[in-house]
């Protein structure tokens, strides 16, 4: 078992190398950060594996994570959640596609297909291949249309920005989905 983090009173977060690999496969490049968001929501699983966290996030169809265009980068209950923030609540078609691939590999074919349909709906909504979409609390599909900046501790901070309208990895993901279904 690998010690991934010290969770204070909840003890260490332990996972086998295989579980870490699977979690990355299911949840892409933001996997560990997403795991810690889940620990905020589900502290009782602190002694479990990352695979169990993956099941809690994805397979449960948890509305705190699942939205009209895919899976949010942060739960709606996370302290830093903001629906249009770059990685603090938005949904990325490419990441949702990686999650769908992992779920399909582990036998969750219906949920994988559901995620891919959500990706396609998001792209249809925008009329392109957006870098990311908003993770609206009500689950609706929306896209940022303006830059939102705010001063925090005397420093200007970019809170939201419009996505790139046509992102290569999103176009590739849509191609893979359409290819799969002929």
Domain ranges of the chain: 1-60, 66-182
Q: Do 93 and 69 touch, CB atoms closer than 8 A?
A: yes
- The SS3 of residue 20 is helix
Q: How far apart are CA 125 and CA 133, in angstroms?
A: 10
Q: Do 123 and 159 touch, CB atoms closer than 8 A?
A: no
Give the model's pLDDT for residue 161: 94
> What does pLDDT average to in each consecutive run of 10 residues of the chain (182 residues)?
51 56 54 55 46 47 79 83 89 87 76 90 95 93 95 89 93 93 84
> Is the whole-model pTM more than 0.95?
no
Give the model's pLDDT for residue 22: 55
- How many other β-carbons are positioned within 10 Å of the β-carbon of residue 146? 8
**Residue 94, CA distances (Å) to 3, 7, 74 in order:** 29, 30, 16
Strands (E) located in 52-93: 66-67, 70-71
Give the model's pLDDT for residue 49: 43
């Amino acid at each position: 078992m690998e010690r991934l983090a010290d969770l204070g009173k909840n003890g260490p977060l332990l996972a086998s190398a295989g579980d870490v690999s699977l979690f990355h496969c299911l949840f892409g490049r933001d996997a560990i950060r997403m795991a810690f968001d889940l620990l905020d929501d589900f502290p009782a699983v602190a002694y479990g594996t990352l695979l169990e966290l993956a099941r809690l996030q994805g397979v449960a169809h948890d509305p705190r994570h699942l939205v009209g265009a895919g899976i949010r980068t942060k739960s709606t209950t996370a302290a830093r959640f903001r629906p249009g923030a770059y990685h603090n609540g938005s949904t990325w078609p490419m990441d949702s596609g990686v999650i769908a691939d992992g779920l399909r590999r582990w036998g969750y074919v219906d949920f994988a297909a559901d995620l891919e349909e959500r990706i396609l709906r998001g792209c249809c909504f925008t009329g392109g291949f957006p870098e990311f979409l908003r993770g609206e609390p009500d689950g609706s599909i929306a896209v940022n249309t303006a830059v939102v900046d705010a001063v925090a501790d005397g420093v200007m901070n970019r809170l939201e920005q419009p996505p790139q309208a046509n992102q290569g990895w999103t176009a590739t993901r849509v191609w893979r989905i359409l290819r799969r279904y002929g």
